Each structure stands twice: as structure tokens, then as C-alpha cells.
Amino acid sequence: MPIPPLYGHEGTRNRLVGALASGRLPQALLFEGPRGVGKQRLALWLAQALVCERLGTGVGGRGTSAAEPCGECQPCRMVLNLSHPDVHWFVPLELSKKSGDADKQVDVVQEALAEEMAARREQPLYEAPSGLASHGIAAVRLLLRRLALKPALGQRKVFVIGDAERLVPQVGAEAAANALLKALEEPPANTVIVLTATAPEALLPTIRSRVVRVRVARLGDSVVAAFVQRELGVSGQRAVAQRVAAADGCIGRVLATGEREDRGGEAAERFAAAVNAGPVGRYAFALGQQPFQARGGFTEMLDGLLERLREQARSGGETGTVVRAMAQVLEARGLAQGNVNPQLVAAVLGGDWERAGTAPE
């Protein structure tokens, strides 16, 4: 089943195609914007434009005056079916099996990524990855391995790294990390790398300095309404209006069942209340976390805290305070994914917030 059409973002699309047609498209880009606004879909649209037989020659050359990939040539159809051999979409993974051997772990990631792409071909309207999904060092090694290959079908390769803020640094893997930085600084000829991030501040400064940042803005209500009606089959003015209001300009938000987000939001609210209640409350909350079995739920809680902080920033909260609190949550998230006891992480984060008065309202 092909992925749905890209809705909205006409201004950004026109600028990207203009840069492509004039041979000025950067080879390393970062699409940043709110969760669910369509950053990865926009990146796949750009990949389609780069390989489209009718649109132009892509990186380093001048193309036609067409404003959109045709959607009809074989490369376009393959991108829409997530089967183009030169378009590589990396998404965060939560691996069910692991290997102590580095090469075998790359194979594990490759298999898991193939399974995820097969699932998205079957159901292209997908939800956000789980709280523990990440881009591990094996995924970076797989990306570097594919970067070294020549294009299989056309003249160029495209790499999309979704939710790039989930790139996990790992002690002892500095060589692979440095190789990724070099690849971003000097990508192979006829290769474009597109990272997407909801929280670009979570990316390493060395990564941010090597990409051209593109802000992906929220969509208008009419665009979201069109998506809800055409792609989800929702009818009735009231039902459509409810979906549009819940989306807040981000189509991806209407796709979630809401269960994971609700759990994270409720847990975040309880954590904030515990911090505001003083030491007894925050320690009780921390000790209530399951030390080993509930890291998925704990990370969902941290994601809920990040969303509350972003809402606080959008509503005019004190910028410096909110940014510090977000940095602390992101650090806690990294620790949780690195197998640090959630009880300890919650206790430290709660203590930091209580001393600084930075808990979200």
C-alpha cells in the first residue's frame, strides 16, 4: 500500500524544489518542527523529488521547471511503496534480540528495520515509536555501510533519519560516531542525508553544526481537515472539527490511538504534582517506579514531561527555565535508555526540579 500524499508545506516544498532545480540543494539537512507535523513525510517527498525521472537531475545539476515529483515514474512509485533501493529510511527501533558481536548486531538492526518498513507498507499511517526505541550504534554502522555503496537503480542515494534526537551515543563507539559526523560534513557524491527532529536541541552540537536547518511549520486547519476526511474517512462537521482541534496543526497527532500518549501525560502530571508536593511526594513517586520492568512506561512519562514543557513554552513560559527543564528531561531520558535504574533517575530529576523550581505547571 503506498504512503499517503504529502499535505501542506507548499512554501517549504517550493524552496526545496527550487534549490534542487538550481543545483543548490544542501547534501545534509535537518527538518525540525513539532511532533506529528509531517517532517519524515516531507523528507520522503524530497527523496521522491531527487529520484524522479521527470523532475530533474538532482544534486549538483539543473533540473526541469516542474514543481512536484510526478508520482508516476518507476522511481516515484517505488518511493511511495517504500521499496526504492536507493532511498534508505532509518527509524528508531526497540530491538527484541541483541548480539554481542558488532557485525551480527548490525544484521539484527537490518532485519528489524526491514520488518518495520514491511509493517509500514502494510499500514502506512503509523504511530510514533515507543519510548525506548532509538538509533543505536549498530544502526549508525548500518547507515555507514550503505553510504559506501553505489546507487543501485539511479544516480543518487537518499538517507532519511527520522527522530534523529534518538541517536544514542555509546562509550567505545567513538569511531562510528566520528564517521557519521564526517559523512554529514562531506557526504558522498550524489548523496543527500535528511535528519528530522522534534527536539533539535537534543542533537549533539557537532551534528547541528554540519546540517542546514529547515523549520517545518504547523499546518492550517483546512489542510488537517482535508487529511482527516480523505485519508481517515471521517465525515460530519463535528467529528472533523474534533480531530482538527486535537491535531493542533500536526497531522500525526490524529493517527495515534492515544493510549501511549495518555499514559505518558497522566504519569507526567503525577510526577509534576509529586515534585511540587515536596521531598516526601517526589521520593514516594520515585520509589513507585518499577526498577527494571517498566522502562518503556517510564520513558513515556519523560516524553509526557517534554510535551508539557513545550506547551508551556508555546504559551509564553519563561524561556530560560523551560529550556533548562527540557535539557534535564532529555538527560534523564538518555540515562533511562542506558539502563540506569528509573527510581534513581526519577529521584535525581525530581530533586533538580524542586531546587530550581522548574517543574511544569
259 CB contacts (<8 Å, ≥6 apart)?
none
The pLDDT of residue 291: 64
The pLDDT of residue 293: 44
DSSP code at position 149: S
The pLDDT of residue 191: 95
The rounded distance, in Å, linking the Cα atoms of 8 and 223 is: 6
The rounded distance, in Å, linking the Cα atoms of 56 and 64 is: 5
Report pTM. 0.73
Burial of 4 (0-12, 13-18, 19+ CB in 10 A): middle
The pLDDT of residue 263: 62
The pLDDT of residue 167: 82
The pLDDT of residue 60: 44
Q: Which residues of the chain have pLDDT under 70?
A: 56-66, 131-132, 168-177, 256-263, 290-296, 313-319, 337-339, 357-361
In the block, residue with C-alpha cell 560534513: 185
State the alpha helices, DSSP H only, in the chain: 10-21, 39-51, 74-80, 102-122, 137-147, 174-185, 205-208, 221-231, 237-247, 259-276, 279-287, 295-314, 319-337, 342-356
The pLDDT of residue 276: 85
In the block, residue with C-alpha cell 515514474: 73
> Hey, which residues does 30 pair with through a beta bridge?
195, 213
CA nearest to 346, candidates 263, 260, 287: 287
77 to 3, 47, 53: CA distances (angstroms): 10, 12, 11
Secondary structure (3-state) at 167: strand
The rounded distance, in Å, linking the Cα atoms of 48 and 55 is: 9
The pLDDT of residue 75: 95
Question: What is the tens place of the pLDDT at every residue in 53-64?
Answer: 987 544 444 444
